[in-house]
Structure 1
Amino acid sequence: MKKLIAFDLDGTLAPSKSKFDPRMVALFDKLLEHFEVCVISGGKYELFQRQFLTQITTEPHLLSRLHLMPTSGTRYYRYEKGDWQEKYAENFTSEQKKAIIAALAEGLKESGYAVAKTYGETIEDRDSQITLSILGQEIVAELGEEGVRIKEAWDPDGTKKLKIRDIVAPKIPDFTVRAAGATSIDVTMPGIDKAYGMDKLMEATGYSKSDILFMGDKIVPGGNDYAVYEHGIDCIAVRSWEDTAYALEGIVSAI
C-alpha cells in the first residue's frame, strides 16, 4: 500500500493559479487522514498559500502530514510549532539571477510572442527558480476564470513556449530552461525537475519509490511531470482537477 501521495498543483489539483474547488478541499482533507501528502510545483510558496493552504484543514496533526515543495523541490516546507517552516532553500546568487533575467527578457522579445497587455510581473524571481510568465503572473488573480481561459487558449499545443525555450536556453547554458505551465518558462540549476524533488522528498521522509504515488496533468514526453514517471515512481496521469477528484474518490472510498 502506498504511504505518500504526491501531486502537481496547477491543472492537477486546481485550474491554473486558482483556488481549490470545495469538492477538492473535502477530498484533500480526507486524504490527509490516511496518507502523507506532497504538493510539488514550479510555483512559489506564496501561491500555495493563495491556492489551497488557506482553505484546507487547520488541524495540526493533519497539516503535519503535508509536504510542500515549491519551485520544483528547491524549497521544502513542513508544518511545525504552529506554522509552516522552511526546511531548506537552494537559491541563486545575485549574479546568476541577473544573467537569467536578461536572457528571459531577450528571448521573449526575439520570439515575437510578447503581448501588449500583461497582468503583474512577467519575469518573477522566486529565489531558487526564475519564471517567465508571458501574460503576467497575476492574470488569474485579476481576471478569474476568464484569465484561466485566456491562458489555456494562448498556446494550446505548447509550440510557442518551446520556441521561447529554444531561444533562451543557448543564452544561459549553465542553467536548465524548461517549458512549464500554460504560459510559463522556468529556469533552474541543472538537474532540477520534479524527479529531483521526489528524491529530496524521499531523503527527508525515508520512503522509497514504491511507497509513493504521483498524480499530474503533464505526464507526457516534454511535460513537466514526465520526469517523475521516468524516475520509476508509479503515476496516474490526469487531464484536469476533476480527473484527480474522481481518482481520489476511488482511493478514499476503498480505505
Structure 2
Amino acid sequence: MSSQGSGGRSVAVFVALVVAMSVVFYLAGPLLGALAGTGDGTLPASALMFVCPGLAAAFLVYRRVGARGLRQWLGSTLALRAGGGAAWYAVAVLLMPLIVVTAHLLSPQGGPAAPDSVQWSLLVPLAVVYLVSATGEELGWTGYATASLQRRYGVWGAGVLLGVVWAVWHIIPYWQAGHGPSWILWQCLFTVGFRILLVGSYDRAGASVPVVIVCHASYNVAWSLLTGSGAHYDPAATALLTLVLAGLLVVISKAVRPFRSLRNRFASGD
C-alpha cells in the first residue's frame, strides 16, 4: 500500500487535524510546566504533541481503508527500503550532529566543550526517547504528507511547504519554553531548512521513512547532549548552516536530474 496521502486536499485535511489535536497540548503546556529530566527545563509539556501527526495520519488512513489497510500502511511506511541502505543511515545519524556541533563552534556564545561536560551516559536514553518522538511525527509529516506534495512541487517545494507548517506548529511550544522572538524566528528558519533536508533524504534514500526518523532523532540527541541540554544551542548559526546545505541539496538535485533521466533512457533502451 502507498505510504502517503492521496492528494493536496488529503494533506490539507491532515494538517488541519494535526493542529486541532495539538490544541490540547498547547493548553496543557502552561498547566504541566517543563517535562522532567530535560536538563535546564527548556522542553515544555506541550512537546508531547509529537503524537499528533502520527495519530492524525493513522486516523485518516483507517477512515479510508479500514483496520487491515491501516496495518498494511504502517508496515509499508516503516519498512526498510532498498534505497535506504547503510550509507544513508550513516548520513542520517551523522549529518545533524555535525551541523549542530559546527554551529556551536562558530557561534559567538559557543566554543569547544570540555569532554567531561557532555553526559555521554544519557546517549542511549535520549536516542530511545527521540526515536519514539520522531516516529510519532514522521509517520505523519513524511509517511503521509511528503510523497503527495513532492510529486506536485518537488523536493524544494514540498520541503518549504511542510517546513513552514512544521515551524508554525512549533511556535507555541518554543514560546512556552521561554524563548524570545529572535530565538523563535531563527529556529523556525532552521525548521524549514531541516525539513528540506529531510524531504531530500527521503527522496534519495528510496522513499525511506526510517531514514528520516533517524535523521530527525539524531538532531534532537545532538542539541540535547552536545550543547548542555540546549543551554548553549545557537539557532541562528544552526539555521544558517542548515539553509546553506538545503540550498546546495536543491541545486545539486536539479543539476543531476537531466543526467539521471538520460541514464534511465539508456537503461530502458529508448
**Larger fraction in helix:** 2
**Larger fraction in strand:** 1
TM > 0.5: no
TM-score between the two structures when normalised by the length of structure 2? 0.25
Structure with bigger gyration radius? 2
The structure, 1 or 2, with the larger RCO (C-alpha pairs under 8 Å, 6+ apart) is 2
